[in-house]
Structure 1
Amino acid sequence: MAHAATPRYRVAVRALCDFTAREGDLDHRFTPSPSAREGIAGHALVTGRREEGYEREIVLSGCHRGLLVSGRADGYDPRHNRLEEIKTHRGDLSRMAANQRALHWAQVRVYGALLCAERGLDSLTLALVYLDIGSERETLLTETASAADLTAFFEAQCERFLGWAEQEAQHRQARDTALADLDFPHAEFRPGQRELAEGVYKAAATGRCLLAEAPTGIGKTVATLFPTLKAMPRQGIDRLAFLTMKTPGRRLALDALARLGTAGQGGGGAGDRQRHLPLRVLELTARSKVCEHPDKACHGDACPLAAGFYDRLPSARQAAVARGWLDREALRQVAREHGICPYYLGQELARWSDVCVGDVNHYFDASALLYGLAQANGWRLALLVDEAHNLVERARGMYSGELHQRAFGQLHRSAPAPLVKPLGRLMRQWQALVREQGGADEGQAGQPTYRVLDDLPARFVGALQQAAAAITDYLAEHPGGADPLLQERLFEALGFCRLAESFGEHSLCDLTRHGRGRAVLGLRNLIPADFLAPRFAQAHSSVLFSATLSPVAYHRDLLGVPGQSVRLSVASPFRAEQLEVRIQGAISTRLRDREASLDPIVDELAGQYRRRPGLYLAFFSSFAYLQAVEARLARRHPELPCWSQSRGMREAERDAFLARFQPGAQGIGFAVLGGAFGEGIDLPGERLIGAFIATLGLPPFDPFNEALKARLESRFGCGDAYAYRIPGLIKVIQAAGRVIRSPQDRGTLVLMDDRFQRHEVRQLLPEWWRTA
């Protein structure tokens, strides 16, 4: 073992052992595990018990044939010459999966080899220290090994990995060479597209965050992917993550990558893509959408694709990276050919792919895969976030949670004997909390009542933590035989407790009562910046892009992007004469004026349709409002074709709604602002010639949004704008953006509400609109 001046490949100890030491079945049956905070506290507890002179967090590294392996060993006791790897757990240790135990031994043996080489030790005692979080009892598993044996083990692991490492180095060189010569996939840039591409390249080159507002229709997807790919070899960027808000965004990204891969080649299939551009592209998909056996648990005793997973993984992994193009269907095909789970194959391949295309939760969620890999492997990661105007609300959802009194009450009534007391204490705290927050257990006149709490209910959270611990211990003692609802309630409780640990001014706690025994306790994130800032700091560069990313201060404040972030606003290629914008200031869409607004809105819809028959979209603030206008239009103008969005439309129903928008057709489609048809749909030319928007899109003036307004006012001094006006108008501008999709399009936009005439509203509308 020796250190090379310039190692050809680097790998962390954990990643090395993950690759070489796992074997046997995939085993993801529920095993209650400590939280990250409990794990850190457990490590501190164990090391705090050790004698004076005990060494903690020892940085170690060693090289074998150009492969540099490095990591941090948990602790070393020089008095007993013992190297310790500390693991926290809950419940019966004998139920730990065999592949997990094998991984732990491999890690401590590799660390042992590195320590012996560094300090000239002839032998070493290796110890796996398992700390039960519940009892705080340590279980010590030890073995004594010579330095020669540990060196042989280390070199064997390196040899198993080295072929892969050399393959990866060759791939990286080929990838970077190809990307340096990459050509733009079209003969010329669209108006505004080059400006956006240059801004994205500069962000990647300088390692900064860019907030780019660029109009719909200029080709933002390829204008962000192309320059980032070009920057990867020169800036040493390891991975690119293209993150989307919805499934159609993933498809657009994959299509753009396909065009980039076959630029100037006239290519077609996935094989052509990879022959011309050696780039590994992986589509990350939710487990629920790719699971081949949704009725089976994720372990070898239940699922045939989990049995022997790690034994078949090497050949599947090799076949997958050789294929390179791994969208959902291609990944599934590779997995089926090798008889393993496609979801967990995809999780493994995220480590080895150059470009990952997936939902924003894969990087920004509390337990995000890509964020964890970037941290663990020290990646220089480039982020591209599409439709970034949605990230505020998506992130709020990621860091919010709620508990339902009725669900826990039902669990209490059917609970096994060991859980009756802890769940009983929890239910008593529920009742006490409800009494303290209003004196009644149900809303007035059958209506829900809502209240923002002054602080976290400490006694309730304490009882919840105790109940969660009791359920965890019970499940550890009864694996596989418990009611699935028990696990479901446990996950909810653990999630709530984790949020409670980080509770602060970025969130609020509220209580909604729907009737006796049916209260809902919520932890709602208001300012996602506090959670997202570390994610942006981890990335080498970030580009957030959208057609509606103004005002920039709103997104900077609420998303927590770095202070040196750059803003780019690409001028619209569209001309004012392409879009006739009318404000109907005589109409009020306020709740109190809804009934009076129906006939004026119908007059506007019918009048515009008579002047220019064709296809239109009409947007409303709610389904109730939509249905009222639709009914009034049908009564007064039964000859005018119309169809409408309904609650909870399935994909086939959404497709049928959009299928009505064909050249030569006529009519008005009714939709809810901010819903499935308010953004992300493309109806160019005659497929859509106008839109009516009968709302400012403002969130309801309810106690929650008033509390949000107060919190945002306190922190940023922009309560009304940040809570109401800006989010509403982002939806309006997105919906209006469906009308003009190319320089050839012509259309009409009618904004129906007197508040559109106000200065503070008009200044938020696109500059190229000329309102009348």
Structure 2
Amino acid sequence: MSYSVAVRALCEFTAKTGDLDLRFTPAPTAQEGIAGHALVASRRGEGYQTEVALSGEFGPLRVRGRADGYDPALNRLEEVKTYRGDLQRMPDNHRHLHWAQVKVYGWLLCQQQSLTEIELALVYFDIGSQKETLLTEHHTAEDLRLFFESQCQRFIAWGEQELSHAKARNTDLEALTFPHSGFRQGQRQLAEAVYKAASTGCCLMAQAPTGIGKTLGTLFPLLKAVPRQGLDKVFFLAAKTPGRQLALDALRQIDAEPLRVLELVARDKACEHPENACHGESCPLASGFYERLPGARKAAAERRWLNREAIREVALAHQVCPYYLAQEMARWSDVVVGDYNYYFDSSALLHGLANANQWRVAVLVDEAHNLVERARKMYSAELDQLSLKVLRKNSPAVLKKPLERVGRTWSELNREQAGDYRAYDSPPTKLLNALQGAVTAITDYLTENPTAMDAALQDFYFEAMQFGRMAEQFGSHSLFDLSKRPGKGGASLSRLCLRNLIPAPFVGPRFAASHSTVLFSATLNPRHYYGDLLGLAPNTPWLEVDSPFSAEQLQVRIAADVSTRYQHRSASLAPITRLMARQFAERPGNYLAFFSSYDYLQQVASLFAREHPQAPIWLQARQMDEAARQAFIERFEAGGQGIGFAVLGGAFGEGIDLPGERLIGAFVATLGLPQLNPINEQLKLRMAAQFGAGYDYAYLYPGLQKVVQAAGRVIRTTEDRGVVHLIDDRFARPEVQRLLPSWWELEPRT
């Protein structure tokens, strides 16, 4: 049995040395890198070979990869690296790694073509000036063989360990049994469908009700499929922290002993020294990072269970950065639990690793109805004129002119637009040119002054680059719009948005890249809406699991005479307060009240507290940390009384479990149904143009589905009937009435 490793992965394991250094170095985008490689190849002579596939073996190791280019006439093998700025600023350990890669490729080519010697070249291509810097070394095949074998010898013990681990893992998973005495109603049906999807190598869309154990019902069959389908990794992707925790809890129940489980968390949550810059001269955990990484990596692999706390313990014991230790362990873990962005974002870590290492992966997408909106945000961009004005006042002298040019061009757009809102067929070329000029100037400035980064300049720089990238990919799936608002002195300020309306062109290839992806949620209807918007194949299998709950367990009352629209918000406060007070008096207990925003929540809570001080209340706050969120949930005690105020779509919108008397009812001031505003109208028009008629209904239905989910999610009691009040006058619309279950009740008009 051999262990396959990519050349880059081998060298990153054996040849990375020194500090972790993330000081600002303006790196080319992926598209710029591809274009740079193509331009370098186009400058070479006839017979120049690109993307040369190479492989070789040493003991149980099979090393493979693709060299950037080979010129048979010169007998020169080239490794092309694109960059921006001053090449002299490149850290020595980067150059050391690059030479290691080209030397390994050099031996593989010598072996493949029976060469006795070869010239190796590092070609550094400046994206800005489009100039090449060529560094060459001449090597005999024997020298390169010795180098190759030395790298393999440094890796071989780890490779053999990984082979042993994979064998033990697969043996254990083959014998794995379901952790409970039986499946819940609907859970077996879901598990069988997931296993079939993994076995046939297809995607699956599964709508299954809350409460049947979807997390366990998807993880268990996928782990069973790992040895039989030769899967390298399982990625469990969640929209929010509670979803990650549910996955970790399920994996604890499964308890597959050899399995390595990793939780990935955001950088700001993992950083031990947020006040320090991320390089060896500032942060003690970055200094000598790669010297201490092997010990930390070994300890983490032996630990196996690598949730946030475990990674932190291992990292601090070896004095390395917890965040980047977790990134390293993504290479060596069997199950990775993280946010959607780790696989679907444009620079997604897990997708990049899977592609580079040719992993065979299976992906689980939890609460998949959220992926449409999240993917739209990943591939959208916006700029606010006020941020630019503030930046212009405090910017370095060298940046004044390019930023002023952006400001002038932007103001011209404002003057040309008569109304407050307008959607355009395409982003204006003049503005894009001005932004590109500003990005280039800031890049040059930061290259020369890598420690002079201030927050406002950094924010604008990254936002402008994202805006430019999305403008390059503008198409029928996108919308450019300008929204004006009054500024000081009678002048207008505006916000520019490049909105991605249909994420299919961006996330669809991610589904194709996986062996199998399962998207599951309690609300994934209408199937064509989600399938079309996410770019799933038309023949993607669909599963709808029957609910184990009956209508008798839940009473849904609709207050269809209260408008929750923004313009009617002040008028809605009193009737909502009366409704909540009446329900609490009729049946004291624990309730959740959902509102569309923090401001709306505060207004209702303030009025309720003044008029009904006898009823305990507690409020979700902005930017609550995990301890504060846990404290909020713990207020829902069995037998307790009170109302927790939360935000729809926030931390408590889904993924929490409050069974029995911990929660007996809820109030949902919805705003979950689409409003008639210009952006939504544009969205409906674009989707109708893309997919045909009928998408007005499809657009409306997911909004209602979220309301239904909010109702069903928060009730777990089977001993007594739960009650949910849905508050929105749009439930009186005939097109909405047709979608409501017959057992939902209309409240009497107040």
- Aligned-residue offset at 1:419: 2.5
Q: Distance in 2 between matches of 1:90 and 1:596?
A: 57
Residues 429/665 of structure 1: CA separation in 2 closer, same or farther (3 Å cut): same
Cα deviation code 1:649-679 (max 9, x no counterpart): 5656555544443233334444443344332
The answer as to 2:464 corresponding to 1:493 is yes
Aligned twin of 1:311: 291
CA contact (8 A) 2:18 2:289 kept: yes
Aligned twin of 1:51: 45
The answer as to 2:17 corresponding to 1:23 is yes
SS in 2 for 1:59: strand
Q: Distance in 1 between matches of 2:674 and 2:625?
A: 25
Superposed, which structure 2 residues align to 1:183-202 within 5 Å?
Answer: 183-202=177-196
Superposed, which structure 2 residues align to 1:114-263 within 5 Å?
Answer: 114-261=108-255
Cα deviation code 1:698-748 (max 9, x no counterpart): 24322212211221222223443344x224213212221244325445212
Q: Distance in 1 between matches of 2:80 and 2:219?
A: 42
Cα deviation code 1:588-635 (max 9, x no counterpart): 555676666666555544444444333333444455655665566567
CA contact (8 A) 2:664 2:717 kept: no
The answer as to 2:479 corresponding to 1:504 is no
CA contact (8 A) 2:554 2:722 kept: yes
Q: Distance in 1 between matches of 2:380 and 2:563?
A: 34
Aligned twin of 1:666: 641
Superposed, which structure 2 residues align to 1:459-474 within 5 Å?
Answer: 459-474=430-445
Aligned twin of 1:88: 82
Specify which of 699, 709, 713 is matched with residue 688 of structure 2. 713
SS in 1 for 2:258: coil
Residues 595/45 of structure 1: CA separation in 2 closer, same or farther (3 Å cut): closer
Residues 257/624 of structure 1: CA separation in 2 closer, same or farther (3 Å cut): closer
Superposed, which structure 2 residues align to 1:32-71 within 5 Å?
Answer: 32-71=26-65
Cα deviation code 1:76-127 (max 9, x no counterpart): 1222211111111112111111121111101111111111111111111111
Q: Distance in 2 between matches of 1:37 and 1:119?
A: 32
CA contact (8 A) 1:62 1:70 kept: yes
CA contact (8 A) 2:660 2:718 kept: no
Aligned twin of 1:401: 381
Q: Distance in 1 between matches of 2:252 and 2:161?
A: 24
Q: Distance in 2 between matches of 1:166 and 1:474?
A: 48
- Aligned-residue offset at 1:587: 5.0
SS in 1 for 2:172: helix
- Aligned-residue offset at 1:342: 1.1
SS in 2 for 1:71: strand
Cα deviation code 1:308-354 (max 9, x no counterpart): 11111112111111111111111111111111111111111101100
CA contact (8 A) 1:508 1:526 kept: yes
The answer as to 2:484 corresponding to 1:513 is yes
Superposed, which structure 2 residues align to 1:584-663 within 5 Å?
Answer: 584-585=559-560, 589=564, 601=576, 604-622=579-597, 639-645=614-620, 654-663=629-638
- Higher mean displacement: 428-437 or 199-208: 428-437
- Aligned-residue offset at 1:289: 0.7
Q: Distance in 1 between matches of 2:657 and 2:370?
A: 18
Superposed, which structure 2 residues align to 1:688-767 within 5 Å?
Answer: 688-695=663-670, 697-716=672-691, 717-723=693-699, 725-741=700-716, 743-744=718-719, 746-753=721-728, 755-756=730-731, 760-762=735-737, 764-765=739-740
Q: Distance in 1 between matches of 2:571 and 2:83?
A: 64
CA contact (8 A) 1:618 1:693 kept: yes
Q: Distance in 2 between matches of 1:27 and 1:315?
A: 19
- Higher mean displacement: 745-754 or 97-106: 745-754
CA contact (8 A) 2:361 2:515 kept: yes
Question: Residue 310 of structure 1 aligns to which amino acid in structure 2?
Answer: Y
Aligned twin of 1:271: none
- Aligned-residue offset at 1:522: 1.5
CA contact (8 A) 1:673 1:732 kept: no
Which segments of 5 or more consecutive residues in structure 1 lack a partner in the other structure?
1-6, 262-275, 444-448
CA contact (8 A) 1:536 1:562 kept: no
The answer as to 2:72 corresponding to 1:78 is yes
Q: Distance in 1 between matches of 2:294 and 2:620?
A: 48
Aligned twin of 1:416: 396
Residues 434/755 of structure 1: CA separation in 2 closer, same or farther (3 Å cut): closer
CA contact (8 A) 2:372 2:534 kept: yes
CA contact (8 A) 1:216 1:741 kept: no
- Higher mean displacement: 733-742 or 619-628: 619-628
CA contact (8 A) 2:553 2:717 kept: no
- Higher mean displacement: 581-590 or 317-326: 581-590
Question: Residue 721 of structure 1 aligns to which amino acid in structure 2?
Answer: Y
- Higher mean displacement: 393-402 or 605-614: 605-614
Cα deviation code 1:353-390 (max 9, x no counterpart): 00001111110111000000111111111111111111
Specify which of 504, 512, 516 is matched with residue 537 of structure 1. 512
Paired residue total: 741
Q: Distance in 2 between matches of 1:613 and 1:30?
A: 57
SS in 1 for 2:354: helix
CA contact (8 A) 2:661 2:717 kept: no
Residues 645/342 of structure 1: CA separation in 2 closer, same or farther (3 Å cut): closer
- Higher mean displacement: 292-301 or 221-230: 292-301
Question: Residue 732 of structure 1 aligns to which amino acid in structure 2?
Answer: V
CA contact (8 A) 1:573 1:743 kept: no
Aligned twin of 1:451: 422
Specify which of 322, 325, 330 is matched with residue 350 of structure 1. 330
The answer as to 2:531 corresponding to 1:551 is no
CA contact (8 A) 1:712 1:722 kept: no
SS in 1 for 2:77: strand
Residues 176/450 of structure 1: CA separation in 2 closer, same or farther (3 Å cut): same
- Higher mean displacement: 45-54 or 167-176: 45-54
Residues 181/81 of structure 1: CA separation in 2 closer, same or farther (3 Å cut): same
- Aligned-residue offset at 1:15: 1.1
CA contact (8 A) 1:452 1:510 kept: yes
Question: Residue 290 of structure 1 aligns to which amino acid in structure 2?
Answer: A
Q: Distance in 2 between matches of 1:285 and 1:194?
A: 31
Residues 771/411 of structure 1: CA separation in 2 closer, same or farther (3 Å cut): closer
Residues 91/631 of structure 1: CA separation in 2 closer, same or farther (3 Å cut): closer
CA contact (8 A) 2:558 2:744 kept: no
The share of aligned pairs that are identical, in percent, is 62
TM-score by length of 1: 0.91
Residues 766/230 of structure 1: CA separation in 2 closer, same or farther (3 Å cut): farther
Residues 601/290 of structure 1: CA separation in 2 closer, same or farther (3 Å cut): closer
Aligned twin of 1:323: 303
SS in 2 for 1:737: helix
TM-score by length of 2: 0.93
- Aligned-residue offset at 1:527: 1.0
Which segments of 5 or more consecutive residues in structure 2 lack a partner in the other structure?
none
The answer as to 2:525 corresponding to 1:525 is no
Residues 216/763 of structure 1: CA separation in 2 closer, same or farther (3 Å cut): farther
Q: Distance in 2 between matches of 1:399 and 1:19?
A: 32
Q: Distance in 1 between matches of 2:396 and 2:732?
A: 63
Specify which of 2, 8, 11 is matched with residue 5 of structure 2. 11
CA contact (8 A) 1:619 1:671 kept: yes
Question: Residue 636 of structure 2 aligns to which amino acid in structure 1?
Answer: F
Residues 23/651 of structure 1: CA separation in 2 closer, same or farther (3 Å cut): closer
Residues 333/706 of structure 1: CA separation in 2 closer, same or farther (3 Å cut): same
